[in-house]
Structure 1
Amino acid sequence: MNPDSADLLDHRELNRDLAIFATDPLAGSGLPLWLPDGAVIFAELERLAADLAKADGCVPVKTPVLGKRALFEHSGHWAKFAEDMFPPMSMGAGSAGESGDELVLRPANCPHHALVYKAQQHSYRELPIRLHELAPMFRAERSGVLSGLSRVRQINLDDTHVFCRPDQVADEAGKALLSALRAQEILGLRVDYVRLSLRDDSPSYLGSAEQWDGAEVALRKAASAAGVATVEAAGEAAFYGPKLDLQVIDPAGREETIATVQIDFNQPERFDLSYDAADGSRRRVVMVHRGTVGSMERVTAAVLERYQGRLPLWLAPTQVAVLPVSPAQDRAARGLVDALVAEGLRPRLDPDGSLGARIRESRRRREPLIAVIGSAEADAGEVQVRDVGAGVERRVLVADLVAGMKAAYVSRAAEVAW
């Protein structure tokens, strides 16, 4: 571990104070239960993912977490990843005595999105089509590698699949890369480097050498257009194509992929995904996989560790603790809470106990702001506010506090502008 980071807590240790998630043997290993405060973080990350997807012209879809075993045999996932998938569930024999279907929990979302694209005929004028979903997927991870939120068996992934013409691939990959970098910037997560993950000499990759060469050129072009340097890594490609991976290294020196852009010519071939070209012919689309925010579990673990639990206001489950000095200020405190709630903000009213104990409790909970209302503040329509992370303490009008918090929340700012 980096000595500068020796005192940092990992997200599991932080969770003891923050109550973000829980685990229970009855639920099963690697299947965390999101507690109320964790569900708030999850919802904010989901909203960020949806906003970034919408800004890039993605459209939302919803698909089932189950699929027939035949679907994943068709896609190639069964042959490649059967050992990492949960066992099939037999549905029994049909009414006419035919063999029943076997259903499996999906390990990836792309086969379902391929079926969504294929459900309608598409013209070259419609492309690119970008399908976005916050999609649960499942991996039968061994119990020995499971760890808090960073390694789980159900992954809720911010996942988009772009269906485009070959001449659009580089632009779409570049758009996806910039969006992923923007997401990490908003989250305050440093991207240590961008890896260009290439094939090696293994025979396990699908597709022709010509397809791979073209895809690698497109990714290099996308990275260059975005002004991003890459580190090439042979053998790190997906089985269906090369990819750009945003790599982060945590304080313990562990490296993770937090977001990715992948080019896939396997799924379009397997599912016969085509479009009507300008000359009237049917031509094959290219699929671009884009992960912008990443998985809700892994990103939550990363931001908890990055901020040591004191999350930016927009992401914090409780954004401000409202503390009346005495019962005489309860009415003013409740008025502030009502004003904040009316603006879609998340205050916590704490009127009981000594002021010092309540301030310590707020700090333990790592709440971004502490708003104290004494008699002078109540009479003047003001509040004494402490921005714990910024080290700012000042007296402001209630209306200014509400407006400042709302502006920081809406813009997802790293700090409130005082």
Structure 2
Amino acid sequence: MPVDHRKLGRELDLFDSNPLIGAGLPFWLPAGAAARHEVESYVRELERRAGYQHVYSPVLGKRQMYELSGHWTNFADDMFPPMALGGDVNDNEAEDGDGDEDGDGDALVLRPSLCPHHALIFKARQRSYRELPLRIAELGAMYRAERSGVLGGLTRVRSIWLNDSHIFCALPQIGAEIADVLRLMRQAHHALGVRVSSYQLSVRGDGGKYAGDDDAWEQAERLLCQALEAAGVRYGVAAGEAAFYGPKIDVQIVDPAGRESTLSTIQVDFLQPARFDLSYVDERGGRVRPVMVHRSLIGSMERLFAHLIEVHAGAFPAWYAPVQLRVLPVAADQQPAADALASDATAAGLRVEVDDDGTIGARIRAAAQRRIPYVAVIGAREAPYGRVALRLRDGRQLPAMPGAEAIALIGSAVARRSADLLPPDEEGQPSQ
């Protein structure tokens, strides 16, 4: 029977919700926050090494910004209503565009995406061709006014934390940038244990809301096709699945129940650079319009973790497991040794717990139920010699080894970001 991330996520204390906060607004508990923080740190470092510059931008923006970007015209049904400074915006004000009770246009909107803010970050000062490609990245919150009937666990929420980036580049740079994004996606997916089911080119369809002219759309579609073909990626075409401002590459995943969804995306956008009047100075001193490539390596943290919980059945790879090592003293006499091991492991950067409540058998079973990768048992035979008996989540038991060696072994597995709990050449026979 397929794993349901909603049930298992609550059993493992990863996330929860409360009617007083509202539907579609989950909160992350300490265990889930620890796993999420590790993934966020990994992705930020991956991006930093690839030349991305990280920014922070506000979750609010004036309604005029979203009118300029095209969101208000093409995406308003999925946006929360405006809020006025110093008072509420009534329905008439929201419709006539006054913005607030004074009519000064200061109505604020919870952002449905990060791209308008990033466009204005690019525009914050004059840019030169020498700065391109300029890669702006942010793990930022955005909000969608999803109807209650479509909400579900972490897969469909109203508060979304998106791993987002916008690459501002010259037209000839687009192919290389998309190739690099595809490479980074594969690297991140491999580390997280995500298996991609397919790639699709999402284009316009009949009856949809789309902005921009046909020539720009056709050029953007052509550029994405060329990038996919140059990377040797097989893909299908999905009509009607494009964003309102441009076509996109959608990276599809399938959950254990066989349901397909989009995790990662790449979009080529000629519309917003024009609407925000973005430009850079070229080699001859002229003003040139950049192209804006929207890109998310791993999508939203909510949808990502819904998938990771299900495909791993809660048994995350050790590097982002909420607790990586649980230390079990068999009796009270071994408590000092257990505390010392936990202290050393924590100092080495591991996430560690000591469990001394209950029988040793019950504690071992509890650790297995929590999907903890490593359990260190310290009994009367181990404590006097600074040794531990290490048990792995998959049922393997290693001979007693020095505590420092156990910490090093776990640290090595974490550093490799591998699904394997032991190095490939580890025979389960630590040095004596």
Larger mean CA deviation between 202-211 and 234-243 belongs to 202-211
CA distance in 2 between counterparts of 1:300 and 1:54 reads 22
Cα deviation code 1:188-245 (max 9, x no counterpart): 1110001111223557333333322322232223223333211122222212111111
- What secondary structure sits across from 2:298 in the alignment? coil
Alignment match, 2:107? 102
Q: Which of 419, 426, 430 is 1:414 aligned to?
A: 419
Alignment match, 1:260? 265
- What secondary structure sits across from 1:314 in the alignment? helix
State whether residues 150 and 298 of structure 1, in contact with CA within 8 Å, keep that contact through their aligned partners in structure 2: yes
Alignment match, 1:3? none
Q: Quote how far apart the aligned CAs of 1:39 are.
A: 1.0
Alignment of 1:24-43 (within 5 A): 24-43=18-37
- What secondary structure sits across from 2:309 in the alignment? helix
Alignment of 1:55-94 (within 5 A): 55-92=49-86
State whether residues 371 and 385 of structure 1, in contact with CA within 8 Å, keep that contact through their aligned partners in structure 2: yes
Larger mean CA deviation between 112-121 and 174-183 belongs to 174-183
Q: Quote how far apart the aligned CAs of 1:19 are.
A: 0.9
Q: Which amino acid aligns with 1:47?
A: S
Structure 2 length-normalised TM: 0.91
Alignment match, 1:357? 362
> Percent identity over the alignment?
49
Structure 1 length-normalised TM: 0.94
Q: Which amino acid aligns with 2:316?
A: L
Alignment of 1:280-291 (within 5 A): 280-291=285-296
Larger mean CA deviation between 285-294 and 210-219 belongs to 210-219
Larger mean CA deviation between 133-142 and 220-229 belongs to 220-229
CA distance in 1 between counterparts of 2:77 and 2:100 reads 31
- What secondary structure sits across from 1:192 in the alignment? strand
Structure 1 residue 341 corresponds to structure 2 residue 335: no
CA distance in 2 between counterparts of 1:166 and 1:311 reads 40
Larger mean CA deviation between 220-229 and 357-366 belongs to 220-229
Q: Which of 204, 207, 211 is 1:206 aligned to?
A: 211
Q: Which of 152, 155, 159 is 1:150 aligned to?
A: 155
Q: Quote how far apart the aligned CAs of 1:30 are.
A: 0.5
Cα deviation code 1:7-65 (max 9, x no counterpart): 23211110232011111111011101111111112211211220121121000111000
Change (3 A) 1:226 1:396: farther
Q: Cα RMSD between the aligned structures? A: 1.9
Q: Which amino acid aligns with 2:131?
A: E
CA distance in 1 between counterparts of 2:199 and 2:316 reads 25
Q: Quote how far apart the aligned CAs of 1:99 are.
A: 3.4
CA distance in 2 between counterparts of 1:48 and 1:262 reads 23
Larger mean CA deviation between 324-333 and 163-172 belongs to 324-333
Q: Which of 174, 177, 201 is 1:172 aligned to?
A: 177
- What secondary structure sits across from 1:376 in the alignment? coil
Larger mean CA deviation between 107-116 and 372-381 belongs to 372-381
Q: Which of 310, 314, 320 is 1:315 aligned to?
A: 320
Q: Quote how far apart the aligned CAs of 1:408 are.
A: 2.1
Alignment of 1:287-306 (within 5 A): 287-306=292-311
- Unaligned stretches of 5+ in structure 1? 1-6
- What secondary structure sits across from 2:376 in the alignment? strand
State whether residues 41 and 300 of structure 1, in contact with CA within 8 Å, keep that contact through their aligned partners in structure 2: no
CA distance in 2 between counterparts of 1:294 and 1:346 reads 26
Alignment match, 2:233? 228
Structure 1 residue 139 corresponds to structure 2 residue 133: no
Change (3 A) 1:200 1:308: same
Alignment match, 1:194? 199
Aligned residue-pair number? 412
Q: Which amino acid aligns with 1:41?
A: A
CA distance in 1 between counterparts of 2:173 and 2:17 reads 44
CA distance in 2 between counterparts of 1:157 and 1:96 reads 33
State whether residues 66 and 105 of structure 1, in contact with CA within 8 Å, keep that contact through their aligned partners in structure 2: yes
Q: Quote how far apart the aligned CAs of 1:387 are.
A: 1.1
Q: Which of 270, 273, 278 is 2:275 aligned to?
A: 270
State whether residues 84 and 100 of structure 2, in contact with CA within 8 Å, keep that contact through their aligned partners in structure 1: no
- Unaligned stretches of 5+ in structure 2? 88-98, 427-432
CA distance in 2 between counterparts of 1:75 and 1:120 reads 19
Larger mean CA deviation between 213-222 and 322-331 belongs to 213-222
Alignment match, 1:16? 10
Change (3 A) 1:215 1:95: closer
Q: Which amino acid aligns with 1:171?
A: A
- What secondary structure sits across from 2:190 in the alignment? helix
State whether residues 268 and 284 of structure 1, in contact with CA within 8 Å, keep that contact through their aligned partners in structure 2: yes
Q: Which amino acid aligns with 1:12?
A: R
